[in-house]
């Protein structure tokens, strides 16, 4: 009986793999595709992800805990600094670093900045070259060769997160680097982010999609309240914070058209996620320069332990 138990624990592998890289290479897209559901919001704009997002992948005999991180980049803004710090903080805490590049852009100065930020980090690194759907094979091989010469990575794996190409290979590759370990999360749990935070992110994602210029970067969304009404509909009250009155006007739109649009699209996503009807009540407020105020950034939930 004793031996049998040892044999069983032997079988289970678990651990953390953090997806890191410059903004916009496809980190959050990869997390969502591996999870086969939306956990992190994505957009074609840089700096979409503002804090660490955990996704738990339950596999037979194993559990991979993926950590999606904000893009590593240079900035003087408090919010951006805090975002980058959240990414760096994962370097030594995880079993494996999945360092992501875009095949389309190749290795650029921004990627160099990322590699410099992990100097001296002992955690094993695997290079994930994403967006291979956008380049031809010969260019990909040249890039792989160039990266191979850096002798920084255990392995290099080309994928397309969007086209779900190479994801099974990536999963088994990650498993090779995970130690034996416990089931950190119960089977029905796929993230440790609070639900209210995820709903706020889904609302913010619609704003990223529907607005332009500085607005996507200036916006924060806070879910203030969530409760079930008598008729079973879940009411969610959320506030959209902008930095200026002019931005607030655009977010509301002519006769509320923009806000309605944001609300309708976000509602559909949230209903899909919780499988219930919701009533989404959106407010728009101005909080000047919130991105330079540590206290406000924390209040908005874009926070990280050691900051
Ligand atoms: P992140 O900032 O690194 O998290 O990047 P996102 O996941 O938000 O993706 C940035 C953009 O790249 C989005 O428009 C994605 O749709 C796009 N993208 C991500 N992966 C791929 C891919 O494999 N192929 C292509 N063509 N586009 C991708
Ligand atoms: Mg992201």
Q: Is 167 in the pocket of ligand 1 (CB under 6 A)?
A: no
Over range 23-47, report the average pLDDT: 93
Could you report the per-residue pLDDT of 139-181, keeping only the tens digit for each? 999 999 999 999 999 999 999 999 999 999 999 999 999 999 9
pLDDT band at 6 (very low <50, low <70, confident <90, very high): very low
CB 167 within 8 A of CB 197: no
Q: Is 87 in the pocket of ligand 1 (CB under 6 A)?
A: no
Could you report the per-residue pLDDT of 231-267, keeping only the tens digit for each? 999 999 999 999 999 999 999 999 999 999 999 999 9
Which helix (H) or strand (E) is 3 found in, with range? helix 2-11
Torsion of CA 31, 163, 13, 68, to 10 degrees: -20
Sole residue written with tokens 């930020």:
117
- The whole-number pLDDT of residue 241 equals 98
**CA–CA dist 124, 147 (Å, integer):** 16
Q: Is 49 in the pocket of ligand 1 (CB under 6 A)?
A: yes
Q: Which residue, by CA, sits nearest to atom 17 of ligand 1?
A: 26
Indicate the pTM of the whole model: 0.91
CB 163 within 8 A of CB 231: no
**CA–CA dist 208, 204 (Å, integer):** 6
Sole residue written with tokens 């990266």:
147
Could you report the per-residue pLDDT of 67-109, keeping only the tens digit for each? 999 999 999 999 999 999 999 999 999 999 999 999 999 999 9
Token pair for 178: 């995970």
Q: How far is the CA of 44 from the centre of ligand 2 (A)?
A: 10
Q: Measured from the CA of 19, which atom of ligand 1 is nearest?
A: 3
**CA–CA dist 49, 302 (Å, integer):** 10
pLDDT band at 10 (very low <50, low <70, confident <90, very high): low
Most confident of 117-121, 124-128, 230-234, 300-304: 124-128
For Cα atoms 16, 18, 23, give the angle at the middle one, nearest 5 degrees: 165
Q: How far is the CA of 44 from the centre of ligand 1 (A)?
A: 7
Sole residue written with tokens 């950034």:
297
- The whole-number pLDDT of residue 306 equals 42
**CA–CA dist 249, 231 (Å, integer):** 33
- The whole-number pLDDT of residue 307 equals 39
Probe ligand 1: pick from 34, 42, 163, max atoms within 8 Å of CB?
A: 42
Kindly tell me if the per-residue pLDDT of 286 is higher than 60.
Answer: yes
Q: Which residue, by CA, sits nearest to atom 19 of ligand 1?
A: 26
Q: How far is the CA of 102 from the centre of ligand 2 (A)?
A: 13
List, as one string, the DSSP characters of 120-131.
T--S-EEEEEE-
pLDDT band at 302 (very low <50, low <70, confident <90, very high): confident
Q: Measured from the CA of 41, which atom of ligand 1 is nearest?
A: 8
- The whole-number pLDDT of residue 265 equals 98
Q: Is 69 in the pocket of ligand 1 (CB under 6 A)?
A: no
Give the number of whichever ligand sits closest to the CA of residue 133.
Answer: 1
Token pair for 255: 């006769």
Could you report the per-residue pLDDT of 172-231, keeping only the tens digit for each? 999 999 999 999 999 999 998 889 999 999 999 999 999 999 999 999 999 999 999 999
Q: How far is the CA of 116 from the centre of ligand 1 (A)?
A: 23
DSSP-assigned letter for residue 94: S
pLDDT band at 304 (very low <50, low <70, confident <90, very high): low
């Amino acid at each position: 009986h004793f031996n049998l138990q040892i044999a069983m624990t032997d079988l289970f592998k678990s651990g953390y793999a953090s997806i890191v890289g410059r903004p916009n290479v496809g980190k959050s897209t990869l997390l969502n595709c591996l999870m086969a559901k939306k956990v992190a919001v994505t957009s074609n704009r840089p700096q979409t992800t503002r804090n660490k997002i955990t996704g738990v992948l339950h596999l037979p005999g194993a559990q991979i805990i993926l950590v999606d991180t904000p893009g590593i980049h240079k900035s003087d803004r408090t919010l951006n600094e805090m975002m980058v710090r959240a990414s760096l903080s994962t370097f030594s805490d995880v079993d494996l670093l999945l360092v992501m590049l875009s095949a389309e852009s190749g290795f650029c100065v921004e990627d160099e900045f990322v590699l410099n930020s992990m100097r001296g980090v002992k955690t094993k690194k695997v290079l994930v070259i994403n967006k291979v759907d956008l380049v031809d094979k010969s260019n990909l091989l040249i890039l792989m060769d160039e990266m191979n010469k850096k002798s920084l990575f255990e392995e290099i794996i080309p994928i397309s997160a969007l086209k779900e190409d190479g994801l099974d290979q990536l999963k088994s590759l990650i498993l090779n680097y995970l130690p034996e370990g416990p089931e950190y999360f119960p089977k029905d749990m796929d993230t440790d982010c609070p639900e209210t935070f995820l709903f706020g992110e889904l609302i913010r994602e619609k704003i990223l999609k529907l607005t332009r210029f500085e607005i996507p970067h200036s916006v924060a969304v806070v879910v203030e309240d969530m409760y079930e009404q008598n008729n079973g509909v879940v009411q969610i009250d959320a506030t959209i914070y902008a930095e200026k009155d002019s931005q607030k006007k655009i977010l509301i739109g002519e006769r509320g058209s923009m806000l309605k649009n944001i609300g309708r699209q976000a509602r559909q996503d949230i209903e899909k996620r919780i499988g219930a009807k919701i009533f989404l009540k959106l407010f728009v407020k101005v909080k000047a320069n919130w991105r330079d105020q540590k206290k406000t950034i924390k209040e908005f939930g874009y926070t990280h332990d050691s900051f």
